[in-house]
Structure 1
């Protein structure tokens, strides 16, 4: 099977898979570059000697130093938690495009504020800037996956939402290596640690430039009653005329989904809140979407992202520069396997299988790493180089990265972007993004204390959570690859969950055949009626 072979829900013109839909996804995914970079650079920047010297870390005890480090990292997640919810009214009333613009502006303001911090002013500007940047990325994490999924043809929806995850990894790759670069090329100084903070302005600047040229989501326009503009945008994205049978089918499906919403949930700002509190199906899906991010963070990924020097030190890696280099390799591995996930795995293997395999393989790797640390106690190793066991532990750590990154890293975002009705999608994505940032905040806030108190037990803790996630996914999460957004309600009603995708695909193909048969039959009837009218016109007139 070709790496780019498409699994389609219906015959799809090749024009649909055009450069425009990829460009729109890439521009919107500048938000994830902001997130990825911020997640990666901060932990290694605050470990630079120049940063520690400027803010007096050397005079602090371990407890105070861990507390300040945790506060610098975690106030960003706290801002992101609230930003995810603030994006809901913006996305509902003003649209996805304005929401992306607002996210970029707020993040840029926060990044600029951080640049004013120094030893004399203290950490106040840094804290304030981190909160504002968090508000921006929280809003972006809500709106971007929705915007991309609403534009995407079903066969490549996973791939396009995966562009969001790819942006995250590219930003992270730069964030992991930036501090190695400044540590290698610049002497310790104010400028040395300030450069990584300044680089934050690049992805937000690209977003602000790109958002000027992108089109509003057609599905959002349909929901707001702006039908002509919606059809115009949809035809522009699909590169097909309005009367093409593919466009007729897609517009009809959107109209049908909106009509179903009016009957079940209702159209309006407060209707999703009412449905979330009264509709059991909606409540259940909100729980599933939010719980996915609990299990994602339960893998330990954000403990590693934010405190990678601490993690590698626990395995036995010594020296700031060596730790930064090892962290950079971690970023390279994540980015490479993300490309594989994006181009092939997400739309070929599917969401459900990826989560199951990733959790099983990742759990085994963490058990092995934790066991090595317990037995070998590398913190007592006097050598500056890794032992044979330490090298093996590093191998299994990188193998854990290979299991985790193309599975749990981006797949929960894809699932949450596609499993809700259009009118519920903004609120549901807000809840999912807020869930991500809540668990993200807790992990980033308490990781230093966890390593101090638990040592090797941290790895066993995360390995156990990955094992538990297998049970959750197997019994509760259906496969969604290739299923149109308008058919998600039916998919989640099918039991047992493990057979839902096959049954749904068979039903869609049956509906497609019936629709085309009806179109052909109506065309034949119209042609026959036209022939009869021609015959009547040519016949001699009849008089009573």
Structure 2
């Protein structure tokens, strides 16, 4: 079996892996382009001399400037936290497709407001950042569950991974844009306003594309809109209604819904009641939200939002040099995201990637922190912002920083989103994803709010920050090993059973064997009813239509 070989839960017609399902995932993932760009461009934009001059930062004490930067960055995460929670309401009543359109409109309004900032007035930036945060927070909840609900199990990780790829493409543009404008444009108002205006591009593409998207068939079935749900499913799968794969999928969806009606219910507050009553669901909520504690504790968002500060701690100073190094960081992230998407997530699996990434990343952070804490580091360049050639130790530290990126990106960057998008049953999935997304943005907010102070107060050249990130990654190894089962290739309707099996390291193999046995039984029952397989398929579809 090669790296691109699909691991299927049951025999799957090749028509299922068609352009439509990939196109829906790609269009929805323009939301992550918005998120990635907003996460990346803000740090380097705030470092532009033209921005700092217009808002009078050169005349302010360094501590005040740090405080202002942290506020500008963190109000975005605060908005995203509430947007992620609010998305549960819209996803329940409006569906996935309409919710996405609502949140991109909020994002566009916020991006437009920011363009009014000028002459020392930061109020439009604060207000706009809150609104764009609400927009991306809601989208970060809606998009992963939408993609997971339309995806065939064998490529679900790959399709949800497109969401992560969009995040990295947006981030790549965000990291490089300020290097480009600093090199080519004069230092004035127009220079720093361009990065803010570029937010409107991915937002506009999503606003248009979301109108074309098909609503999730699973959501339509849960709302009793069976005819439209079947129509959307047939379009996405590119198969006729009497194809046996469609017959099975409808059977699985409806069986799962019937079980949920009897055990959970399909109302707005029923998922809350279900989580309150079920230790199994409480455990999954804990797992999903904790994954994002460790993701943010790895250091990625400290680097995304404060990349000039991070590279300054390694001895890289000078505006354009710092922008260039940050841009290369974006290139490495995007390259390894492509590797993760096409070769790793649906082959190596979620659990193994998290373990490998955490161990490798923690070792890199320890080495960087040890170097910065050593007497070898000359802090005079960082302290006086004087550009000096990197020492051999500094070059090694930068190498291990990029090596950390190579470990982190194809593991913890996108995998927690994939796991959270697929680990819940239909009626609890929106609530579970909302809580996971809110957890991400809450811890994102904490990191964004205090990173500047951490680098200023945690040891020589901020070495303690790197030791902290290393410790969090080592703790995540223990957490994943004992708590996270492999969800690769498991049908959404079998996730409840997956999380019941102990130890979690063996759960995937057991559940896949059970799914294949159930599929074989389904075929035997169809053929043993006295009809040919083809006639029994038609009979099932006709009965279902009634």
What is the TM-score with the length of structure 2 in the denominator? Answer: 0.95
Shift of 1:4: 2.3
Kept after mapping to 1: 8 A contact 2:315/2:379: yes
The one of 514, 518, 541 equivalent to 1:507 is 514
1:197-240 CA-to-partner distances (Å, cap 9, x unmatched) read 00000000000111111111000000000001100100000011
Match of 1:226 in 2: 225
Match of 1:265 in 2: 264
Shift of 1:2: 3.1
**Using the alignment, how far apart are the partners of 2:156 and 2:533 within structure 1?**
37
1:451-507 CA-to-partner distances (Å, cap 9, x unmatched) read 000020000000000000000000000000000000000000001110000101111
Shift of 1:526: 9.8
**Using the alignment, how far apart are the partners of 1:187 and 1:526 within structure 2?**
72
1:19-78 CA-to-partner distances (Å, cap 9, x unmatched) read 000000011001100000000000000000000000010011111010000000000000
Match of 2:155 in 1: 156
**Using the alignment, how far apart are the partners of 1:243 and 1:177 within structure 2?**
51
Match of 2:543 in 1: none
Structure 2 vs 1, CA of residues 202 and 523 (structure 1 numbering), >3 Å: closer, same or farther? farther
Match of 1:113 in 2: 113
The one of 401, 406, 417 equivalent to 1:397 is 401
Match of 2:189 in 1: 190
The one of 454, 466, 480 equivalent to 1:473 is 480
Aligned residues: 528
**Using the alignment, how far apart are the partners of 1:127 and 1:524 within structure 2?**
67
1:280-322 CA-to-partner distances (Å, cap 9, x unmatched) read 1111111110000001001000000000000000001010110
Match of 2:415 in 1: 411
Match of 1:295 in 2: 294
**Using the alignment, how far apart are the partners of 1:361 and 1:525 within structure 2?**
55
Shift of 1:377: 2.5
Please show how residues 46-125 of structure 1 align to structure 2 within 5 Å.
46-120=46-120, 122-125=121-124
Match of 1:535 in 2: none
Please show how residues 109-508 of structure 1 align to structure 2 within 5 Å.
109-120=109-120, 122-375=121-374, 376-381=376-381, 384-454=388-458, 455-508=462-515
Shift of 1:383: 6.0
Root-mean-square deviation over aligned CA pairs: 1.4
Q: What SS does the aligned partner of 1:347 have? A: coil
User: Unmatched 5+ residue regions in structure 1?
Assistant: 529-544
Match of 2:36 in 1: 36
Shift of 1:517: 1.3
**Using the alignment, how far apart are the partners of 1:261 and 1:438 within structure 2?**
30
Q: What SS does the aligned partner of 1:211 have? A: helix
**Using the alignment, how far apart are the partners of 2:157 and 2:469 within structure 1?**
27
Kept after mapping to 2: 8 A contact 1:315/1:378: no
**Using the alignment, how far apart are the partners of 1:500 and 1:100 within structure 2?**
34
Shift of 1:279: 1.5
Kept after mapping to 2: 8 A contact 1:100/1:143: yes
Structure 2 vs 1, CA of residues 214 and 507 (structure 1 numbering), >3 Å: closer, same or farther? same
Shift of 1:433: 0.2
Structure 2 vs 1, CA of residues 142 and 522 (structure 1 numbering), >3 Å: closer, same or farther? same
**Using the alignment, how far apart are the partners of 2:361 and 2:4 within structure 1?**
26
**Using the alignment, how far apart are the partners of 2:192 and 2:61 within structure 1?**
22
Match of 1:541 in 2: none
Match of 1:537 in 2: none
Kept after mapping to 1: 8 A contact 2:316/2:387: no
Q: What SS does the aligned partner of 1:316 have? A: coil
**Using the alignment, how far apart are the partners of 2:425 and 2:259 within structure 1?**
9
Kept after mapping to 2: 8 A contact 1:91/1:99: yes
Match of 1:8 in 2: 8
1:422-469 CA-to-partner distances (Å, cap 9, x unmatched) read 111111111000000000000000000000000200000000000000
Structure 2 vs 1, CA of residues 525 and 207 (structure 1 numbering), >3 Å: closer, same or farther? closer
Select the structure of larger CA radius of gyration.
1
| Higher mean C-alpha displacement, 258-267 vs 284-293 | 258-267
User: Unmatched 5+ residue regions in structure 2?
Assistant: 536-546
1:57-106 CA-to-partner distances (Å, cap 9, x unmatched) read 00111110100000000000000000001111111001111111011100
Structure 2 vs 1, CA of residues 310 and 527 (structure 1 numbering), >3 Å: closer, same or farther? closer
| Higher mean C-alpha displacement, 369-378 vs 176-185 | 369-378
**Using the alignment, how far apart are the partners of 1:447 and 1:119 within structure 2?**
27
Kept after mapping to 1: 8 A contact 2:314/2:397: yes
Shift of 1:514: 1.2
Kept after mapping to 2: 8 A contact 1:79/1:134: yes
**Using the alignment, how far apart are the partners of 1:495 and 1:263 within structure 2?**
26
**Using the alignment, how far apart are the partners of 2:362 and 2:339 within structure 1?**
21
Kept after mapping to 2: 8 A contact 1:314/1:378: no
Kept after mapping to 2: 8 A contact 1:318/1:385: no
Kept after mapping to 2: 8 A contact 1:364/1:463: yes
| Higher mean C-alpha displacement, 272-281 vs 394-403 | 272-281
**Using the alignment, how far apart are the partners of 1:276 and 1:7 within structure 2?**
31
Shift of 1:516: 1.1
**Using the alignment, how far apart are the partners of 2:30 and 2:109 within structure 1?**
16
Q: What SS does the aligned partner of 2:346 have? A: helix
Structure 2 vs 1, CA of residues 483 and 526 (structure 1 numbering), >3 Å: closer, same or farther? closer
